[in-house]
Structure 1
Amino acid sequence: MTVPVRSFGPRDVEFLVRLMDIPSVSPLEGGEAGQTARAQELFAREAEARGFRVLLARAPGPEVLDAPEVPLPVRSFFAAAPGLLAAQPSVVVAMGAPDAPAGRRLVINFHMDTVGPHLPPRLADGVLYGRGAVDDKGPGVAALAGVAAAFAREPAIAGAVEVRLCSVPGEEGGAMGSFGTRWLTSLGQVGRLTLFAEPTGRTFMDSSTATMTLRLRVEGQDSTDDHPEQGHNATVALGFLAARLAGELGGDRADGSRVTVAGLETGSAHNRVYGSGQLLLNIAYPDTGTGALMRRRVTDALAGARGAFRAAYSGNPLTRRVADDWDDVVRAEWLKQGLPTLANRDPAMEAVLRGAGLRRHTPATDGAPFTCDAIWAGGPGRYVCVCGPGRLDRNGAHTEREHVAVGDLAAYTDTVRRTVLRFAHAVGAPLHESTLEETH
């Protein structure tokens, strides 16, 4: 297997293919939990072989899930199978000065878990296909190669700065970084500059939304087609809620929030009235104030929906029972709420990134900010942004079309190399003038 690009060469491609071949599908997506640990072990061994130090390779204890911002489905999942959390380790590797303070530290974060189903890797015409190609093993391996290339180009920076790579689980499956990035941040795995290697078309995006998820349930009685009037018709009630909430909360919003009405489930038989079911509502918000406002709007919309349903359907024998018993059988529960968002600016670190040849992400041309683990990493004295090769939509992330061009990975490797060198220069490391000229 040969690749005509020296900055991301055959060794890098071979390692990435081996890493992608491990089906590290999140257990929250139905994957085997131990496969994530296998992938992390391979990553740590390869990083050591390239000269990195392994600073951490373990999973958190169960107390990491006790915080109220941890999504309810995550807490419930691991409470039912507590041993699985131990098979979800994070790995942190480093190169450079081990005693460098956080102000002279650059951190790169990527996630090892994937969505399901697993898609085995294949390389064709310079394009790598398979699960994790662009989300997020490909960017992680390219970043590893870029950091190593920077220290090889300028060994003198090893005494002045430290670069850490954090490989985390728990990004997919709705985990929201709760037992990966969130935990590492609490341990101090942060720096003056932190890059999250997610697909942005190699722009740097210094804001990230968060999401909250509401589950609407009907918990009533079923009935047969012989007596449909005896059941609490969850299908009609939830279908009504889906349509009404889409109308009241959907559409383009000036405040930057986005609403998705999804996941309606009752049943599939033709000769039965289903008395139970659920509907999911997902809301992305750019800041906590907007999140609180959207929660109030949802509460008001639900109150209005109750009255509207009763007015429209209490006289219909097929729906009278669910209309009359609405307060007893219709329930709303927030599965995910209270997550922070990211919105930060830093002229000095932005200059580092521009000096490395990057431009700032512009929503009008590059798409709206998306939700990722970066929400946990912000804080005083830190600049956090998302920057990676490819685009989530164009490269088929989360679909059977997931792919990335090896050339895009090579370009990102060069981006990381230039960023490391520019960062080192910005915090006082000695660099040859020829090296700085190369980073433009």
Structure 2
Amino acid sequence: MSGDADGFDPVAFLERAVPVASNDDVGEMRDLLVETLEAEGVDPTVDDAGNTVASKGAAEPATHLVLNTHIDTVSPHVPYDRDEGVIHGRGSCDAKGPLAALLSAFFAADPGPDARVTLAITPDEELLSTGAAQLDLDGDRYIVGEPTGLDVCTAAKGRFEGTVSLSGVAAHAAEPQSGVNAVDALAPVLDALRSFDDDREAHPDLGPATLTPTMVDGGANSNQVPADCRLVVDRRSVPPETAEGFREELESTLRAAVPDDVGVDFALTERPTPFLEAFATDPDHELVTSLAAASRDAGGRADVRPFTAATEASYFSPAPVAVFGPGDLADDEGAVAHADREYVRTDDVRTAAAALRAAVAALTA
């Protein structure tokens, strides 16, 4: 059968969705999504943040399952193409393929008297998550569509970014002792970054957190002791670390590491939405076991593992969250998602749709 039990064909939807460029503006893609929902008898809402939301089931449910993914894609747009069994183009796996599978599950859903299913599709996952930051769904379990190779992903590292600012005193380079060299103070800063996690235990699923210096800038003239230096760092966090907790601890660590005559400040990069923090769901939770069993029964690989990229799933934690979908972030040849060769196999889209239909039915009976 090409579609689900109600006639919706996820691959046919994907063939319409991938040609629609949604890297700079999601308006046309959102119109297609709304049109698709309405054609299936669903009346969605689009909120002020651009989220497309639709629900089925009890108004005050004992169980509320939320199906989430995003319609925006990274630049540049890659045109649609199709080989036998493979759809190519931007968004084919990240995340219009997962969206097609989630739509199949939502249309087929028939929640029990105490259950509710909500479809919540966000417009800005690849940049600032302005849509997800405004969602207030009160779900008690979430499935987030991303390319996982049909595995069930229960955890992901967070990503924080910030700038270390060092301040000294400018002086002539011929008399370096008359100033305070901010660039020279990078040496103890880099040592402190390397040892920052030495006494911290690795997360059982995600492994160790990482802290990486990524960009540096300092000095004004080649014959002058530099008064200022800035170092950008990338943090990949593990639970239970929060962005603010990381900021406070790193600033305190650096203050203790550099000479007293050097000023030290560490500030997280300003953004209008919260950073994507780490999350972890118990692998034995019913959400995970039901989805893994459904994927396995449908022919998926169904390993339970962490996801290797940051996702909006972090906004839904600490409620149980599982990340799942067709396609892969990378394969044996290299990058797939965000790459010019982005693709998804149509068989995997159908398998994901079948798995999600079964999992949603089990979780909302």
Pair 1:92 & 2:82 matched: no
* 1:45 CA displacement: 1.0
Pair 1:196 & 2:144 matched: yes
Pair 1:420 & 2:360 matched: yes
Return the alpha-carbon distance in structure 2 between the equivalents of residues 272 and 398 of structure 1: 43
Alignment match of 2:155 (pick from 200, 203, 207) = 207
| Contact 1:245–1:301 under 8 Å retained in 2 | yes
| Contact 1:104–1:161 under 8 Å retained in 2 | yes
* 1:139 CA displacement: 0.6
Q: 1:221 to 1:130 in 2, by over 3 A?
A: farther
SS in 2 for 1:92: strand
Return the alpha-carbon distance in structure 2 between the equivalents of residues 92 and 238 of structure 1: 51
Question: Under a length normalisation based on structure 1, what TM-score does the superposition of the two structures give?
Answer: 0.64
Question: Under a length normalisation based on structure 2, what TM-score does the superposition of the two structures give?
Answer: 0.75
Q: 1:104 to 1:368 in 2, by over 3 A?
A: closer
Q: How many residues align?
A: 346
What is the identity, as a one-letter code, of the residue corresponding to 2:325?
A: G
| Contact 1:265–1:279 under 8 Å retained in 2 | yes
| Contact 2:151–2:303 under 8 Å retained in 1 | yes
What is the identity, as a one-letter code, of the residue corresponding to 2:19?
A: D
* 1:393 CA displacement: 3.4
Q: 1:192 to 1:252 in 2, by over 3 A?
A: same
Q: Which of the two has greater helix per residue?
A: 1
Q: Which of the two has greater strand per residue?
A: 2
2:237 is aligned to: 285
Return the alpha-carbon distance in structure 2 between the equivalents of residues 17 and 272 of structure 1: 61
Q: 1:253 to 1:288 in 2, by over 3 A?
A: closer
Q: 1:181 to 1:338 in 2, by over 3 A?
A: closer
Alignment match of 1:138 (pick from 94, 97, 122) = 97
* 1:52 CA displacement: 2.3
Q: 1:241 to 1:370 in 2, by over 3 A?
A: farther
Return the alpha-carbon distance in structure 2 between the equivalents of residues 265 and 103 of structure 1: 52
1:247 is aligned to: 194
Cα deviation, 1:325-360, whole Å, max 9, x if unaligned, reads x42xx6421226786543344744444334424587
What is the identity, as a one-letter code, of the residue corresponding to 2:164?
A: L
What is the identity, as a one-letter code, of the residue corresponding to 1:259?
A: T
| Contact 2:9–2:104 under 8 Å retained in 1 | no
Q: 1:14 to 1:100 in 2, by over 3 A?
A: same
* 1:297 CA displacement: 4.9
* 1:419 CA displacement: 1.1
Alignment match of 2:267 (pick from 325, 333, 344) = 333
SS in 2 for 1:102: coil
Q: How does 1:312-327 map to 2 (within 5 A)?
A: 326-327=262-263
Return the alpha-carbon distance in structure 2 between the equivalents of residues 251 and 20 of structure 1: 45
Pair 1:6 & 2:2 matched: yes
Q: 1:306 to 1:221 in 2, by over 3 A?
A: closer
SS in 1 for 2:162: strand
Alignment match of 1:47 (pick from 12, 37, 49) = 37
Cα deviation, 1:43-64, whole Å, max 9, x if unaligned, reads 111121123221x20224xxxx
| Contact 1:258–1:285 under 8 Å retained in 2 | yes
Pair 1:36 & 2:51 matched: no
2:326 is aligned to: 389
Task: Compare 112-121 and 6-15 and name the one that shifted more.
Answer: 6-15
Return the alpha-carbon distance in structure 2 between the equivalents of residues 123 and 287 of structure 1: 41
Q: 1:250 to 1:340 in 2, by over 3 A?
A: closer
| Contact 1:264–1:277 under 8 Å retained in 2 | no
Pair 1:24 & 2:14 matched: no
| Contact 2:2–2:9 under 8 Å retained in 1 | no
* 1:417 CA displacement: 1.3
Structure 1 runs not aligned, ≥5 long: 26-30, 61-88, 311-323, 426-440
* 1:158 CA displacement: 7.7
RMSD: 4.2
Return the alpha-carbon distance in structure 1 between the equivalents of residues 81 and 229 of structure 2: 40
